[in-house]
Amino acid sequence: ASNAMWGGRFASGPAAIMEAINASISFDKKLYAQDIAGSIAHSEMLAEQGIISAADQKQIAHGLNTILSEIESGTFEFSTRLEDIHMNVEARLAELIGPAAGRLHTARSRNDQVAVDFRLWVKAEALRTAEALKKLIAAFLDKAEEHSETVMPGFTHMQTAQPVTFGHHAMAYVEMFSRDLSRVRDAIERMDESPLGAAALAGTGFPIDRHMTAKALGFREPTRNSLDSVSDRDFALEFLSLAAICATHLSRLAEEIVIWSTPQFGFVRLSDSYSTGSSIMPQKKNPDAAELIRAKTGRVNGHLIGLLTVMKGLPLTYSKDMQEDKEAVFDAAETLELMLAAMAGMVTDMSINAEAMKRAAGSGYATATDLADWLVREAGLPFREAHHVTGKAVALAEARKIGLEELPLAELQKLNAAITADVYSVLTVEKSVQSRTSFGGTAPEQVKKQVAYWRERLAKA
Ligand code: ARG
């Protein structure tokens, strides 16, 4: 049998394989609520503009609401023959209310219909992402506040560089996740336009009111070019981009958690609820959640590249290629939500081993820069020369297998006569972090200031 929607032009129906490659209902049924909301708004506008009768509109809206409850109660029968969510809903509407159903698609195409459905879905998902990010940031702010004075090694090249505080390290992630949050807000702002009423591609001759449907669906305004309206998937690409960047931040953090939780580092201890054991090695406590967050980033990043590649060759306006936009976004969104929630839980539950952090911060000559700075400040040496003298001190300490602060004063004075006992006051890791008072530096007072700043800013975000 030929298709009920375009049977006028077709003598026979599709091959089974054609149906299989063409159908999207298995995944775009996720858009049912948006599709029905879009259709109700469209029908109300058509009636308001005198394009359909008020009586027909009432029947349409009633039928659509029935379908909504059928889908939500699980009694709706989705059909692959009917290709996608739009035709599944419309076909059922015809069953329910008869000929009036056929008036719903006046001044509309599936091209603007899918564009509006998908935008509504992505917009709602972006709002959920924002909430999940805010929870994660709150978890970090608490940790940062609690550990504004907890000293740990800061690394470059994965080698101990200078002492920092764990609070400062935590606040670095607050900066990253707050940028992610602001990217979500920006993306929502840009996607907040309704494509409904662009029709197939050229607009319509019916006297529709696009401002009315835009408002009814919660959009700021209608889009301004009908061709762009049905071709544009930037909103999906932007969502995937921000998801990929956010996932990448989560992955770097996950990597740090994996390293920190090793017995060798022992900086953090994961709670039992966020780790797993080994079936053979009884001593093991594995950071699986962190590892999976790190791994799932590959999936999210892959979806961005996938959709960019789908879109890059498409001439204006709609091509069926664009049906491939949905699974990428659905999976990226679901994956990112899970990653954010798992990370928030893991960070909240994780305990910090301040002892181990401090011990590590003190090894590896992490206060060498403080010694050089002291020579500049107190002995008037040019920094380059101070660097040289300090290098000799490190070599000496290393040869004797002791810390810088354990070198006898007489030995230090052999390297530079101006050195006094006062130098020992900067060689401890606590003194080192306390001295980094520049704006954005690691000194506890700076960290506390940044925590207060973000708490206030996020209350409004
Ligand atoms: N299922 C289609 C999609 O997701 C809906 C739009 C179909 N439009 C068309 N002209 N075939 O893209």
Three-state secondary structure along 171-214? HHHHHHHHHHHHHHHHHHHHHCEECCCCCCCCCCCCCCCHHHHH
Look at residue 460 in the predicted model and tell me its pLDDT: 86
Determine the distance separating the centroid of ligand 1 and the alpha carbon of 336, expressed in angstroms. 26
Ligand 1 touching residue 24 (CB < 6 A) = yes
Which is more confident, 1 or 70?
A: 70
- Minimum-distance ligand 1 atom for the alpha carbon of 318: 10
pLDDT band at 11 (very low <50, low <70, confident <90, very high): confident
Residue 450 is predicted with a pLDDT of 97
Q: Which of 323, 325, 327, 329 has the most ligand 1 atoms within 8 A of CB, as the residue to mutate? A: 323
Q: Is the dihedral of CA 378, 384, 385, 390 positive or negative?
A: positive
Tokens 């003298």 belong to 389
Token representation of residue 174: 């607050």
Decide whether any atom of ligand 1 lies within 6 Å of the 318 Cβ: yes
Q: How far is the CA of 117 from the centre of ligand 1 (A)?
A: 11
Which stretches within 312-380 are classed as H helix?
Answer: 325-349, 354-362, 368-379
> What b/e readout covers 200-238, taking b as 16+ CB neighbours within 10 angstroms?
ebebbeeebbbebbbbbbebeebbeebebbbbbbebbbb
Range name among 29-33, 328-332, 418-422 with the lowest pLDDT average: 418-422
Rounded to two decimals, what is the model's pTM?
A: 0.93
Distance, in Å, from the CA atom of 194 to the CA atom of 214, rounded to the nearest integer, reads 5
Which of the four pLDDT bands, split at 50, 70 and 90, describes residue 443? very high
How far away, in angstroms, is 320 Cα from ligand 1 center? 6
pLDDT tens digit sequence for 49-106? 999 999 999 999 999 999 999 999 999 999 999 999 999 999 999 999 999 999 999 9
Q: Ligand 1 within 6 A of 84 CB?
A: yes
Give me ligand 1 centre to Cα 318, in Å: 8
Q: pLDDT tier at 2 (50, 70, 90 boundaries)?
A: low
What confidence tier does 279 reach under pLDDT thresholds 50, 70, 90? confident
CB 36 within 8 Å of CB 61: no
- Catalytic sites, residue numbers: 157, 278
Matching residue, tokens 């009586």: 55
Six token digits for residue 26? 């298995």
Give the residue carrying structure tokens 């506008």: 45
pLDDT of residue 446: 97
| Crossing angle for the helix pair 110-146 and 32-48, to the nearest 10 degrees | 130
Among protein residues, the one whose CA lies closest to atom 7 of ligand 1: 110
Q: What is the pLDDT of residues 196-223, one digit of tens each?
A: 999 999 999 999 999 999 999 999 999 9
Q: Could you report the per-residue pLDDT of 224-277, keeping only the tens digit for each?
A: 999 999 999 999 999 999 999 999 999 999 999 999 999 999 999 999 888 877
Q: Hey, what amino acid is at 400? A: R
Rounded Cα–Cα distance for residues 100 and 56 (Å): 6
> pLDDT averaged over the chain?
95
Closest to 271 (Cα-Cα) out of 379, 366, 350: 350
Question: 323: Cβ below 6 Å to ligand 1?
Answer: yes
Distance 202 CA to ligand 1 centre (A): 16
CA of 58 from ligand 1 middle (Å) equals 27
Q: Is 110 in the pocket of ligand 1 (CB under 6 A)?
A: yes
Question: Residue 430 is encoded by which pair of tokens?
Answer: 């606590």
Q: For residue 4, is pLDDT > 70? A: no
Span 299-309, pLDDT tens digits: 999 999 999 99
Q: Sign of the CA dihedral 200, 203, 207, 211?
A: positive
Report percent pLDDT > 90 for the chain. 90
Among candidates 272, 303, 265, 268, which has minimal Cα distance to 288? 272
For ligand 1, mutation pick of 84, 319, 326 (most atoms within 8 Å of CB): 84
363 band by pLDDT with thresholds 50, 70 and 90: confident
Q: Is the CB of 111 under 6 A from ligand 1?
A: yes
Please check the confidence at residue 329 and state whether its pLDDT lies above 90: yes
Percent share of the chain, pLDDT over 70: 99
Q: Per-residue pLDDT averaged across 445-456, rounded?
A: 97
CA gap 126, 137 in Å, rounded: 16
Cβ–ligand 1 distance for 36 under 6 Å, the answer no
d(CA 184, CA 125): 10
